[in-house]
Structure 1
Amino acid sequence: MEKIDLTSDVALSRIVYGMWRLGDDADTSPAHVRAKIDACLEQGITTFDHADIYGGYTAEGIFGAAMREDPSLRDQMEIVTKCDIIVSAGRHSHRKVKHYDTSRAHIEASVETSLRELATDRIDLLLIHRPDPLMDHHETGAVLDDLVASGKVRAVGVSNFRPRDWELLQSAMKTPLVTNQIEISLGCLAPFTNGDLAFHQRQSQPPMAWSPLGGGALMTGEGPVQAVLDEIAQAQGVDRAAVATAFLLAHPARIIPVMGTNNLERIAKLSDALKVQIDRETWFRLYEAGLGQEVP
């Protein structure tokens, strides 16, 4: 599978496996998690996307339990994780209000916890999970620079940032931000026209796409989008998920979809998206179905 370079020594697989729902599975044993990892690696999906908050702050530890049983897995993958969201759950169950924390102390503590939970000595890509309206960009930028300099983190980026949020943080940093993980799908088309994709495409910063299947909504029910997905999927011998993912892969911004499912059969088919041919007219058929109207 193709890799997308973020820096001279950090590259992500063209499709990323996301751990958002890892803790929701009925089976969270190391053996079952290992089966998911193996299903990804067999397809060339080498990048695994985490966040400290996933599973109420449990998902990183669930993944780490499988890693501890076979430490050799670490050199076969890239690990992404995120920090700054605090909710009343797990180790933060004493918190009274959901909030964001981009202070040096919190980011450093989060990284140390993630390293321990994930059973690794390095994070390949650390993302600030949500824009913090109380962010001191000098403090946040400095700690991200220091984490990269320490070797604990190899590259840094953000998630859910708008261009001005990105520019504010980057203005206080020596290390380049390398990606922005935002919601993009046939059910969330705004980034194609609101300037988000254009901003990163202009700077050759490949964006990551969370919820590329619209939280599963694109895979269920019937409607204009599903009808076009089904037509293309049937013609090319794949399923809706492959076509919806290929729609993102076809964009010149080099969008990196983050796919999340606990179903081993579906995990094994994630790379089917690479088989789908999406020409310009097909892309616009899907785009217009998502818009619910012709383009102007």
Structure 2
Amino acid sequence: MERISLTPDLSLSRIVYGLWRLGDSDDTAPERVRDKIAACLDQGISSMDLADIYGGYTTEGVFGDALTPDLRARMEIVTKCDIVAPEGRHAAARVKHYDTSRAHIFASVDHSLRVMRCEVIDLLLLHRPDPLMDPQETGAALDDLVTAGKVRAVGVSNFRPWDWSLLQSAMTTPLCTNQIEISLLELSSLTNGDLAFMQERRIPPMAWSPLGGGDLFFDTRHAALRQTLERIGADQGVDETAVAIAWLLAHPARILPVLGTNNPDRIGRIGDAAKVSLDRQDWFEVYSHALGQEVD
């Protein structure tokens, strides 16, 4: 599978496996988790996306229980921090909030390293923009994590261009990605400047919920779009999911979709998106159905 370089020393697989729902599975036994990871690695999908908050702050531990030295050597671990919700290890919090203080970021990273049983996080993302962020404090904390060797690279998630610029202005380490919502049901980043900002800086974005949380295939309002995806998929021997992801891969921003499922059969087909070829008219046909109208 194609790889995308984020820094001179870090590249990710073009498609990333998202572990958001890993802790929601009926079977979180280490051997079952290892089977899912192996199914991804067999397709060249080596990048695993987590966050400290996933599974009520349990998913990183479930993942860590399954890791072996051999598996760890074959993958890149992406995780996130800064959301504090009143559950799990933060059950004492009075209200859900964000925390980008140095103390919280360092404590989160140390906890993630401990429960995932690894020595370094390949890519750490700030999960949400924090309206109380002190850019000098937060930027210095991220720089120091890289210098200390606890993380290899840093980025953000759900940041707007101005949030990115504010944080980057206080850092020496380059931010290397922004993980934002992009799908055929969430098209705003194509026209609101978010993708253009990344492209101008030659920074590949990551896309969370690239299938619209499943609504793309279950909401009757998207029947025409789904039929188009199914037709293109049938012509190329893949299902409609692969075409929806291929539509993102075809964008010149070099989007890295983050796909998550606990279904073994679906995991085995994640890589099919890389087999799909879309010409410009295919791309705009899908886009027009997603918009609900042809382009102006």
Same-fold status (TM-score > 0.5): yes
1:14-25 mapped onto 2 (5 Å cutoff)? 14-25=14-25
Q: Deviations over 1:38-59 (max 9, x none)?
A: 0000000000000000000000
Query: Which residue does 2:204 correspond to in 1?
Result: 206
1:53 partnered with 2:49: no
Answering whether residue 105 of structure 2 is matched by residue 104 of structure 1, we say no
Partner of 1:255: 255
Q: Name 1:125's counterpart in structure 2.
A: 123
Shift of 1:221: 4.2
SS class of match (2:121): coil
SS in 1 for 2:151: coil
* Cα offset, 1:198, TM superposition: 0.3
Hey, what does 1:173 align to over in structure 2?
A: 171
- Report the AA paired with residue 166 of structure 1: W
Distance across 2 between alignment mates of 1:281 and 1:117: 47
2:224 and 2:97 map into 1 onto residues whose CA distance is 38
Root mean square deviation of aligned Cα? 0.7
Matching residue of 2:87: 89
Under a length normalisation based on structure 1, what TM-score does the superposition of the two structures give? 0.98
CA distance in 2: counterparts of 1:151 and 1:72, whole angstroms? 21
SS in 2 for 1:224: helix
Alpha-carbon distance in 2 for matches of 1:160, 1:27: 30
The 3-state SS of whatever aligns with 1:133 is coil
Q: 3-state SS of the aligned residue for 1:166? A: helix
Post-superposition Cα deviations, 1:196-235, rounded to whole Å, max 9, x if no partner, equal 0000011110000000000011122441211111111111
Alignment of 1:105-254 (within 5 A): 105-222=103-220, 223-254=223-254
Aligned partner of 1:74 in structure 2 is 72
Name the SS of the counterpart of 1:178 in structure 2: coil
Name the amino acid aligned to 2:40. C
Distance across 1 between alignment mates of 2:238 and 2:170: 46
Aligned mates of 1:292, 1:22 — CA distance in 2: 34
Counterparts of 1:264 and 1:63, CA distance in 2: 16
Letter of the 1:59 partner, please give it. T
Q: Are 1:26 and 2:26 counterparts?
A: yes
State the secondary structure of the residue aligned to 1:124.
strand
TM-score, with length taken from structure 2: 0.98
Residue of structure 2 equivalent to 1:10: 10
- The runs of at least 4 aligned residues of structure 1 exceeding 6 Å deviation read none
Runs of 5+ consecutive residues of structure 2 not aligned to the other structure: none
Q: Does 1:63 align with 2:87?
A: no
CA distance in 1, matches of 2:118, 2:96: 28
Length, aligned pairs only: 294
Deviates more, 1:156-165 or 1:231-240: 231-240
Counterpart amino acid of residue 186 in structure 1: L
User: Distance in 1 between the 2:279 and 2:206 partners?
Assistant: 22
Unmatched tracts of structure 1, length 5 or more: none
Secondary structure in 2 matching 1:181: strand
1:41 aligns with 2:35: no
In structure 2, how many angstroms separate the alpha carbons of the residues matched to 1:17 and 1:64?
15
Q: CA deviation at 1:94?
A: 1.1
How many angstroms apart in 1 are the aligned matches of 2:80 and 2:18?
12
Residues 220-273 of structure 1 deviation map (CA, whole Å, 9 limit, x = unaligned): 244121111111111111111100000000000000000010001100000000
User: SS in structure 2 opposite 1:26?
Assistant: coil
